[in-house]
Amino acid sequence: MKKIQMVDLQSQYYKIKNDVDNAVLNVMDSAAFINGPEVKSFQNEMETYLDVKHVIPCANGTDALQIALMGLDLQEGDEVITADFTFAATVEVIHLLKLKSVLVDVDYDTFTISTDQIRKAITPKTKAIIPVHIFGQCANMEEILKIAEEHNLFVIEDNAQAIGSQFTFSDGNIRFAGTMSTVGTTSFFPSKNLGCYGDGGAIFTNNDELAHRLRGIVNHGMYERYYHDEVGVNSRLDSIQAAILRKKLPNLDSYNDARRKAADYYDEAFAGNENILTPKRAEYSTHVFHQYTLRILNGKRNELQKFLTEKEVPAMIYYPVALRKQKAYFQESNDADFVNTDKLLDQVISLPMHTELDEEQLKYITDAVLEFMAK
Ligand SMILES: *Cc1c(COP(=O)(O)O)cnc(C)c1O
């Protein structure tokens, strides 16, 4: 059996090695390393895939979030509501811009931000909501967009984990994750569902004016060469990464299908085990399984992780600490408002999930989990 990894980027690369190698060598040959035609082509192809008017490539997913917020003219102290249970980058950028993060609980079944808790957290200073499409599934965007409209708030979708996932609205309208709100962001970090071979990111919007603004911000606040209208940043997707992404984007749907197939295998193997809850698939969103995350109900999650490690099955705890309890983002809070997050911190364990898992590996992984749970 091939060694089991949390993410197997090498096997995936070998399947497209010729194409990718040629694309990279062509960039070297052209010497158009920055803002070359590959970046522009990737931008256009991503716009077509997502059916969104504007894709603004940038250096990574954290920059994408920061730049998206910079484009909205928020004032120091304005409040931004986001989930207590997410990767730290989401809240980091709020603090970098001297805004106030307001962390709220998530839903126990979908791990996404609780819309009831968003409503409770709104104050006159609230200016924006950042839902995170965590683990590969959309947050409840219909409800979030309704709340935003009622209170005149911006919505920034952190779509680092759910590229290619789709949300179905109650009127039948279907939209890609990251394209439903004011602005959306993603990351092309290698292990993400659409990963490049280094750092990369992008911002999505259907708003022409905002797109123009964001293209200036990523480029030193420059709208006309050497005229700097505002303080911007330097955040670029380089041409080599764009060339690699152009080879991977056409495979994104089949990559996500492969992840879903692995998830189906896991679901079936664990169905009916009273101490294992498999991830819920919300009726309004497709799931692209950036992570496959179980909830372990017998209180032995850490022992399970240790057991799996001994069996050479990697498994990770995403995430072990609530953001509101992190030193950097500490927020006075009433634990009674965070029952789901706090339960999840003790129960979640993510199993290997990538495009290259074969049945022999899946059987070995599920057998190992079930062996421990039967002890
Ligand atoms: C990965 C990730 C980011 C940051 O992306 P980078 O490209 O690593 O900067 C932001 N938010 C979430 C939810 C992520 O998973």
Which pLDDT tens digit goes with each residue over 297-320?
999 999 999 999 999 999 999 999
Q: Angle, nearest 10°, between helix axes 17-30 and 239-248?
A: 150
The rounded mean pLDDT for the chain is: 97
CATH topology of domain 251-373: Aspartate Aminotransferase, domain 1 (3.90.1150)
Find the 192 Cα to ligand 1 centroid distance in Å. Answer: 9
The pLDDT tens digits of the residues spanning 209-227 come to 999 999 999 999 999 999 9
Interior CA angle at 313 toward 310 and 317, to 5°? 100
Q: Return the biggest CA–CA distance within the chain.
A: 68
Which residue in 100, 192, 247, 248 is the catalytic one? 192
192 counts as catalytic: yes
The secondary structure of residue 341, as a DSSP letter, is H
Tokens of residue 33, six digits: 């390393």
How far is it, in rounded angstroms, from Cα 31 to Cα 243? 13
CB atoms within 10 A of CB 8: 19
Residue nearest to atom 5 of ligand 1 (CA): 61
Q: Which ranges in the chain are annotated with CATH 3.90.1150.10?
A: 251-373
Predicted local confidence at residue 5, as pLDDT: 97
145: left (phi over 0), alpha (psi -120 to 50) or beta: alpha
Residue nearest to atom 1 of ligand 1 (CA): 160
Grade residue 127 by pLDDT with cuts at 50, 70 and 90. Answer: very high
Q: Which ranges in the chain are annotated with CATH 3.40.640.10?
A: 9-105+113-249
Nearest C-alpha neighbor of 282 from the set 157, 145, 110, 160: 110
Atom of ligand 1 at shortest range from CA of 200: 7
Measured in Å, how far apart are the chain's first and last C-alpha atoms? 25
Burial profile 311-344: b = 16 or more Cβ within 10 angstroms, e = fewer: bebbbbbbbeebbbbbeebeeeeeeebbebbbeb
CATH topology of domain 9-105+113-249: Aspartate Aminotransferase; domain 2 (3.40.640)
- Ligand 1: does its nearest atom lie under 6 Å from the Cβ of 61? yes
- Ligand 1: does its nearest atom lie under 6 Å from the Cβ of 158? yes
Positive/negative CA dihedral, 209, 215, 216, 218: positive
Find the 62 Cα to ligand 1 centroid distance in Å. Answer: 6
**What is the pTM for the complete model shown?**
0.97
- Ligand 1: does its nearest atom lie under 6 Å from the Cβ of 68? no
Residue nearest to atom 14 of ligand 1 (CA): 160
